[in-house]
Structure 1
Amino acid sequence: MDEQTLDIFSAARARRDVGRIREAVAEVKAGDIARVLVRSPRYGLYAIEGAVRIGVGGQPLVGDVILATSAEIQRIDLGIAAPEPALSADVVDPSTLPHGTPVRVTFVTPTAATFAVTGPITAGNDRFLLVGSWIVADDRVIAPRVVSIERLDDVDLHEVNVPPLRSVLVDADA
């Protein structure tokens, strides 16, 4: 991810670029590589990069983000380089990733292929660490779909881009 894009995480809220979003949705096709910037009250500000695929309902998506319907989308960039796992990055112990730590995590799934999510680690009153809506670790064990985790120590996340701790319903019998 380029420096200009990483700077978005250090800045306070910017306005949604609705025109750019509409243009991207109108021209995007399956197989294009895209970056989608999402602002979520639950997961904070995060970017997901990967190949566009067409979902069951005919909607284009990247990872788990439907491009045409989400009011949380802030920006869509097309024509970027395909995400690559940071195989040379140090192996990160998930217990060293407190809530709000900026990371870039590369995932591989059978349906979404290889994609990367950049943003703050989120934690809650459960055993999961997430970036965006994707599980990075379960009880300090790296999730099976994670290929690499990069700690982005040079990124100074602005506080408005880090959500509060996630609230989670807890089973009364647990």
Structure 2
Amino acid sequence: MKYLAITLCLFISQLGFAQDDVFDLLEVKQNKEYAYATFKATQLVNSATNETPGAGVLQYIIAHRFGSFGEDYLYNFLGLDNAQIRMQLDYGITDRLNIGIGRSSVFKVVDSFVKFRTLRQSSGPSPMPISLTLLSSVNYRGARYTDGVDHLASDRLSYHHQAIFT
């Protein structure tokens, strides 16, 4: 009888540990979900967006604006002869960090840039309502000056910094 009581106590205690806590079922753990494809590309017309290429993605962009047709539109080949062209090469180091180089036909500007997504819009635990991307570039003007002044190389440099909120 004594062994039977001890055996029953052991089985009852094991059944008590096997039951799930009902309150654990109420606490559903939410994953953090990030907003993606706010814009479909890294450029929107002539401006940068908050998007970056993915990690390890190399992206080549050609952008152009047609020149004026004028009265002699056939001679200017519908504006193609005097078009303004920009070529750009982007590389995604990570999903959040992007570097690139580019060249524009306007003033023969060569530039390099870094884009970093500091804040990402997300939902779930500790949501972030906005996205913040920082862009910084160094530009070098390669066109010759026609004013007759001897310009230094530092006169050809310009810097651009941008905070992109979405």
Task: Give the TM-score normalised by the residue count of structure 1.
Answer: 0.25
Task: Give the TM-score normalised by the residue count of structure 2.
Answer: 0.26
Question: Which structure has more RCO (C-alpha within 8 Å, separation ≥ 6)?
Answer: 1
Larger gyration radius, structure 1 or structure 2: 2
